[in-house]
A and B are shown apart, each in its own frame.
Chain A
Amino acid sequence: MSWLIEVDGPSCIGSGMCVGMASEHFELRDGVSRPLRSQVEPADEIVDAAESCPVEAITVRDAESGAVIAPEP
């Protein structure tokens, strides 16, 4: 099982929340977050980052089914 991470660049406000919570999965490039790898092994801190993003710019999906894992609606 693996997950897909997407960051919506235009929504991102560059708060650095995801980088602070999950530094192995996100980086800021020109003030905008992006995943270091778009397909990853499941890890709690990725969900945490998606759930804590102040503008909900991060979406985590199941790579096979495409179902949204985070953020919760």
Chain B
Amino acid sequence: MTTTESTPRSYPFSAAEKLRLDPFYAELRKTEPLSRVQLPYGQPAWLATRYEDAKTVLADPRFSRAAAVDNDEPRLRSRRPAGGILAMDPPEHTRLRKLVAKAFTVRRVERLRPRAQEIADELADGMLESGSPAELVEDFALPLPITVICELLGVPYEDRADFRDWSDAFLSTTKLTEQQVEDYIDRFQNYMAGLIERRRQQPEDDLLSALVEARDEHDKLSEQELVELSVGILVAGHETTASQIPNFVYVLLTHPEQLEQLRQQPERVPEAVEELLRYVPLGVSAAFPRYALEDVELGGVLVRAGEPVVVGVASANRDEEVFSDPERFGLDHEAGPHIGFGHGPHHCLGAQLARMELQVALETLLARLPGLRFAVPEDEVPWKTGMIVRGPLSLPVAWDTEA
């Protein structure tokens, strides 16, 4: 058994480069499935790299997110994360999760699909009118999820320039200064408090109004929780999907035979989305440590009560024990039970919404932009830096126009 005394390795192991996953994860899965790591800030941690161990840490009640609040939790930036729903355990977490879970079930999300398709078609119309080439991030990947979450939550689309800037406060590791992070979070919360006040005066048919009612009439959450939850939904509701659309397109463009297969069989887009969710390492690092509440044997080591564990989700999604030929992207991979949306009580609230939007996005791009390709050499695509998620900053694309 490894002891906790072994010197932790500096983590992340390397700077994120495009969508490449550090091959050292594969080595750890074989030789040291729970290993000691030191993130840039906070206590040393265990890093779980195998699929089964990852799921245990994410769903087993012996591992706690709430305990992170009282500890110097392992993290990528010096600022201590705020509390909120991501730092709670059941049953406390359940109280908040339940209030919003209903709005994101597969049944409710399917009702939004026609509207999402309409938005995607309008965006494609715009790209076709302006003509090839276009910039996929600004012209398509951002406005699609932003419009959908604005309408669902009840946030004016016109305000997007502001809240897009402020969203970086939750996703920046080094992009923003600590002062900027404080400032943006303040402004974001004030903005949301203003919207909430307006719903209080005049309720609408949106999630924000439903949450105001849950607060005012049923006392299900505090005012601060209401503000934080709404901000969280707006940030998470667009930023990750807006990154994944160009990430997915990038993977397809760099795997032309897979892209061609998908063009021939567009009905396989839902499968392709699952394989892409498995294959693309969206995060630059394991994050959101769980603290062991008691001694737990895991991956051949004893995790002692009070020790934090971070989960390498991208590594788990490439575990050879679960997926065959896992380092390769391919439509022939069986749509496996990846954990791209996490697992357990904190499983992504918007998973079904994200799936639907990603399906609509790929279907629309394949159908409307024949011969979709890079408009610049692949190596010149600029990538985000100083953020917890990966994604192209911009993705110039071209397509075949009718002669």
Contacts and interface: CB of A to CB of B under 8 A. Distances in A.
Interface of A: 13-17, 19-23, 28, 31, 44-45, 48, 51-56, 71-72
B344 A17 contact: yes
B101 A20 contact: no
B97 A52 contact: yes
Contact of B107 (A31, A48, A56): A56
Contacts of A19: 59, 344
Nearest to A12: B337
Interface of B: 55, 58-61, 90-91, 94, 97-98, 101-102, 104-107, 337, 341, 343-347, 351-352
Contacts of A54: 101, 104-106, 347, 351-352
Contacts of B58: 16, 20
Nearest to A31: B337
A16 B105 contact: no
Given A14-B337, A51-B102, A20 B59 contact: yes
B94 A15 contact: no
Contact of A16 (B97, B98, B101, B344): B344
Q: Which of B58, B90, B97, B107 has its CB near the most chain A CB atoms (within 10 A)? A: B90
B105 A23 contact: no
A57 B347 CA distance: 15
Contacts, number: 71
B170 to A, nearest CB: 22
A15 B351 contact: yes
A72 B107 CA distance: 12
A22 to B, nearest CB: 8
A71 B94 CA distance: 15
B105 A55 contact: yes
B362 to A, nearest CB: 19
A45 B97 CA distance: 12
A9 B240 CA distance: 29
Nearest to B58: A16
Contact of A15 (B98, B102, B107, B341): B341
B32 to A, nearest CB: 25
A20 B61 contact: yes
A22 B151 CA distance: 32
25 contacts: A13-B337, A14-B337, A16-B59, A16-B345, A17-B344, A17-B345, A17-B347, A19-B59, A20-B61, A20-B90, A20-B344, A21-B97, A21-B345, A23-B60, A44-B91, A45-B91, A48-B91, A48-B94, A51-B102, A52-B94, A54-B106, A54-B351, A54-B352, A55-B106, A56-B107
B90 A21 contact: yes
What are the 5 closest A-B residue pairs judged by CB atoms, nearest first?
A20-B345, A20-B344, A16-B59, A52-B101, A15-B347
A21 to B, nearest CB: 5
A21 B93 CA distance: 9
Contacts of A15: 341, 343-344, 347, 351
A23 B345 CA distance: 10
Given A16-B58, A52-B101, A56-B107, A45 B344 contact: no
A40 B344 CA distance: 22
Contacts of B343: 14-16
A52 B93 CA distance: 11
Contacts of B347: 15-17, 20, 54
A72 to B, nearest CB: 8
A72 B108 CA distance: 13
A57 to B, nearest CB: 9
A52 B98 contact: yes
B270 to A, nearest CB: 12
A68 to B, nearest CB: 15
Nearest to B352: A54
Contacts of B91: 21, 44-45, 48
Contacts of A14: 337, 343
A51 B352 CA distance: 15
Contacts of A51: 98, 101-102
Contacts of B105: 53-56
A55 to B, nearest CB: 5
Contacts of B55: 16, 28
Contacts of B337: 13-14, 31
